[in-house]
Structure 1
């Protein structure tokens, strides 16, 4: 019964005032009711084509003919005298009216198919709409009232009185109106309520899952003087967006709840400077800070930046990575244990045995989706405040559902002086222009990235990917004989990848052919051109991410997208990248064009199958349902109170249907 009630219509047809045959205009689609007068099967001269023709009379006595091609079985379903509802395109020739019937059903005893706004369900073959409508109607009749898990909140009691919205429908009414609406307005209210429930259950799931809904964390003391001192040593001024996000972080650090905040912003928007300010505050409070990065080369880059920001302020910064010698590691571990080191930067070497903190107060995690959950948990054993940084802008609505337990901050402006990267789309025909341009850039002493997509057929992804990259490298060596070329691909071990990037950074070669392993963060100041082959195979967010790899050294930079196929839809998608450099706008467009599944380049495991909710357009409902979920869990972290019994049961019932993601 429950499954049936939540089997929502996919669209609705307004059949409140069914037209007579006379009012229908030629060439338009219509729904008519007619009584069967006669029927016949006509074989046409064209070989094998059979025509079913049925004569009908409408309620005003006007006649018309229903036509079906090659569907002789329709005859059996048209007993003379039966009343049928028919939908299709109408043709008027002289006084004759005919309809190419796309859909029909027996009006039956109940008028569930006429005289109302009629639900049209997603149906498998062999199951008719009339049957589904009757089944849902019976299920709704079986309940006097469907119990509502949000009842306490609708009546304005409960957690902070955050009801779905003043005047929101009760669940009973919402389900009845979603299937058999009285009016468009009631239908809209019903769908609002059902979407609200979907998002609320999803947010509760993620928050309970993470166990982080109401954990006590550290309370840090923050003074204006502290922040002033930090600002005074920066070689630049923070942007408005950086200031806003820094204030959000400092508020979290001062509250007694454990901070769990995601800071997302484009490459180069200045996330590290904001993280440095938070680490400085932790150090001023006598606590230690850790910044964990996914690769050694990134860890070293963060180490250099943090040393530049924090060393002048008297904060000791250390580095801990796998390639250090055993004695170097031991020395760092000793300094961490006795509290000499105030900030440590490292890879997952930070969570291996033997690493003990004197007092870890703040953990900053860069590009969190590259770490396993259990790895992170080990770093978080001491309940430090947690700041997650991501350079993959994802739309706020998606961030709130994927990271239900993390507050989301966005740094949505670039520092002054960053010149936007000029982007151009080329096709296979004009592809050689891209490499002619690459040669010019290299002659100026600049460097070039060429990225080729993962190929997903053949033996195994990694092998096929390697073959594609190797082929491209060979082709470019013939095309650009005087250029030094190297290769980076997914089959390499992490330290091999790091070594290649290190050599590229030092200028040991001019052009790097790579599969997408270069997405994350390494600065190559001399790189001014990014060429992306078969660009249509990447998500927009991913293309934007790749483009951000050039232009890091203040030189004018370019990105060329080579489209392997040039359908209108493909070019329309790629134009978003050509015309915009705003990562958040691009991510929103990606969400609209491709749906949530592919957004993060990695296919998102366990993105809930939302039946009604739409991440691209329901941000307001998501924000409201999330506020209620937080309020409910603050009052009752495990939904043990009797008033939440129904809600808990609903969560369990949906748990099978919803995949979910383990977060911090």
Structure 2
């Protein structure tokens, strides 16, 4: 008599199950019902038999799930027998669909998690880990604790509860020390056939102490089997309903077995940086032997992540560009110092030294100048423009609005006119005759410095020899507008980008990977810190009583409406409603309204009128200009302050106290939970913008880096910008060194890096990197 093999039995089972699924799980494909057929054919497969117990009484949806699970189990075994593809270096096979790792039904579940290729699976890192190496005894368990235990089965039973449709599988068990407990499964009757009395199990679940110890089981397996879920540091992956952790671990484990070893993109640099081998790091991040191995794997893969990010930023910016080498004479530096009406801070002196060194280098300067409100960035920019002028070159400073451009123009006149440097202003609102005169002086070289808005990059504008481009509040322009300014030069000009928004160094190095970072972390003497108070919503009227007193003294007040969602229409409604309310609360005050839906020209007119003192109180959304001086503004009130980040609130309070008068900021918390108040109280305790930005990063996270999806930048999978500054700096230094040696990554030792960059670009939807 011929013996039927397990494979033949599976083939016989698969056909009726597929037909049943195609028929809508109506239980009419097999005479006598599908349950009887499965019970007969699936004797060697208790997991499958258990799925079809009571099949006729199940709903069509429950039947469909049982069919899909059964087919997945049948396919799973077949896939496991297939010969693995040859192991290879580089990316061989990594971009193929993930079908070698899972049967068709399971591939659909993986795709829901974004896992479509072997590469996707390898880079699907755990979100946390559980240490299941030393398993506790029952006597030490606490109510509500999640635990993994080693137990021996004593007995089992099926219990029907009074609640309709609820059945419990209860298994009496004992741990290695003789302490008893009850294992409980809800509505999983198939478990009865899976567990035999006397068997040793590893079980994981939540503990309940109710007249004894119960464990509500989430996962179990035979203790004798080699397990990915016990006896080790176990990975816990991000998952969705219907995708179990054991299934994910098994899938990742297969991916590692099939794909490794891989070519190491950093083989030429691994030893000098003390980095783990790439393939070993991939294995260890998923299934580490111990904590030390996990830490080394995390370091290696974070380093790769930041290196690729920095390479992408540098390549997007055109790589490391040769510019011109400017002369810098000590006599010029001393003349600049003496011409200023105030002494420089140590921070300004330090940053001026960094800029002078950059400008002397034959490589193009590309530097970000960060400084808190009032730290003196314009003076430093004036120094760079002065050096360009002394070398016979021209400089340009581009600001986002006409108000800011005029303010910069007035300041640069103060600093540079005594030194014989001719400064011109170019605005879109200028008359044709005035504009023509400015353009002629720029083209002839008579004008040494041009200050303006987008008008600087419009058609018809030209420079005789643009050697330095300064961009203020670069995030308000965008990369394309910055590049348009640079294209106006015959040779690559030096670039200085200024920002009054304090950014933690780690975030600055990532957001502006193509720029060196200078920080003005010291305020000029005499600048008074803004006094700050957080108020609960119940006390908000006290804020407006204080506003009334400030207005009576002849001072001016900002009131900022909450930004509700990312909708200008809703912002407008919030600002308008607050404006109407304040007209009733402060009838004697002259009020103005400013919001994002106003035309740019109208916004500037309102802001200029407020600056000239035509209004006492300005109700605004967050469009108030960064850096604009309103000398008489002494108070800012921010409604629903919890809706803003700490760094943004710090920026807002920088609008007041700029004219030598005492400044005040009142932040009204609409939602006054303990966590909210604790976060806002950081602003009461500190006026250091960089400390506040660091706290904001830790509390809120970085958000999407520079609009990563839009710009082709990958999201960080492992990196933590609040903690990884040192790793980022090392990765950035290596990225610069690699591109200095090999600008197109065409050398053999950089081919794997180039492929990784291209793979990232393709995954995000950007086809070309280099």
The TM-score by the shorter chain falls in which range? Answer: over 0.9
Shift of 1:98: 2.8
Distance 2:438 2:612 in 1: 27
Residue of structure 1 in register with 2:226 after alignment: 110
Residue of structure 2 in register with 1:574 after alignment: 680
Task: Choose the corresponding residue for 1:217, options 323, 336, 347.
Answer: 323
Distance 2:189 2:761 in 1: 42
Deviation readout 1:198-253 (Å, 9 max, x if unpaired)? 11111111111111x22101211001111110000111111111111111111100
Distance 1:530 1:645 in 2: 55
Shift of 1:467: 2.3
The answer on 1:260 being equivalent to 2:366 is: yes
Distance 1:91 1:456 in 2: 42
Kindly tell me: are residues 23 and 564 of structure 1, through their superposed partners in 2, closer, same or farther at Cα, counting changes over 3 Å? closer
Task: Choose the corresponding residue for 2:514, options 389, 401, 405.
Answer: 405
The answer on 1:384 being equivalent to 2:490 is: no
**Aligned pairs (5 A) from 1:90-489:** 90=207, 96-105=212-221, 109-143=225-259, 145-155=261-271, 163=272, 165-166=273-274, 168-211=275-318, 213-381=319-487, 382=489, 383-456=492-565, 461-489=567-595
| Contact 1:107–1:113 (CA under 8 A) maintained in structure 2 | no
| Contact 1:40–1:75 (CA under 8 A) maintained in structure 2 | no
- Report the more deviating stretch, 646-655 or 270-279: 646-655
Distance 1:345 1:108 in 2: 77
| Contact 1:36–1:78 (CA under 8 A) maintained in structure 2 | no
- Report the more deviating stretch, 189-198 or 52-61: 52-61
Distance 1:106 1:593 in 2: 43
SS of the residue 1:150 aligns to? coil
- Report the more deviating stretch, 104-113 or 349-358: 104-113
Deviation readout 1:566-617 (Å, 9 max, x if unpaired)? 1222212211122211111111111111111179999997663211111111
Distance 1:293 1:135 in 2: 53
**Aligned pairs (5 A) from 1:556-595:** 556-595=662-701
SS of the residue 2:569 aligns to? helix
Shift of 1:47: 7.5
Shift of 1:640: 0.9
SS of the residue 1:283 aligns to? helix
Deviation readout 1:181-202 (Å, 9 max, x if unpaired)? 1211111111100111111111
Shift of 1:92: 6.1
Task: Choose the corresponding residue for 2:618, options 492, 495, 512.
Answer: 512
Distance 1:72 1:300 in 2: 74
SS of the residue 2:746 aligns to? coil
| Contact 1:597–1:604 (CA under 8 A) maintained in structure 2 | no
Task: Choose the corresponding residue for 1:3, options 89, 104, 120.
Answer: 120
**Aligned pairs (5 A) from 1:15-164:** 15-21=132-138, 24=141, 28-44=145-161, 51-59=168-176, 62-68=179-185, 70-72=186-188, 75=191, 78-81=194-197, 83-90=200-207, 96-105=212-221, 109-143=225-259, 145-155=261-271, 163=272
Residue of structure 2 in register with 1:649 after alignment: 755
Shift of 1:658: 5.1
Residue of structure 2 in register with 1:158 after alignment: none
Shift of 1:540: 1.3
Which of structures 1 and 2 has the larger relative contact order (alpha carbons within 8 angstroms, sep 6+)? 1
Distance 1:33 1:376 in 2: 64
Shift of 1:396: 0.8
| Contact 1:148–1:171 (CA under 8 A) maintained in structure 2 | yes
Distance 1:519 1:43 in 2: 68
Shift of 1:21: 3.5
Distance 2:224 2:483 in 1: 61
Distance 1:373 1:272 in 2: 21
- May I ask how many residue pairs the two structures share in their alignment? 647
**Aligned pairs (5 A) from 1:535-574:** 535-574=641-680
Distance 1:602 1:450 in 2: 32
Kindly tell me: are residues 573 and 598 of structure 1, through their superposed partners in 2, closer, same or farther at Cα, counting changes over 3 Å? farther
Kindly tell me: are residues 386 and 487 of structure 1, through their superposed partners in 2, closer, same or farther at Cα, counting changes over 3 Å? same
Kindly tell me: are residues 15 and 467 of structure 1, through their superposed partners in 2, closer, same or farther at Cα, counting changes over 3 Å? closer
Distance 1:244 1:439 in 2: 43
| Contact 2:312–2:713 (CA under 8 A) maintained in structure 1 | no
| Contact 1:269–1:411 (CA under 8 A) maintained in structure 2 | yes
Provide structure 2 residue ranges, at least 5 long, that are not aligned to the other structure: 1-117
TM-score, length basis structure 1: 0.92
Rg larger for? 2
SS of the residue 2:268 aligns to? helix
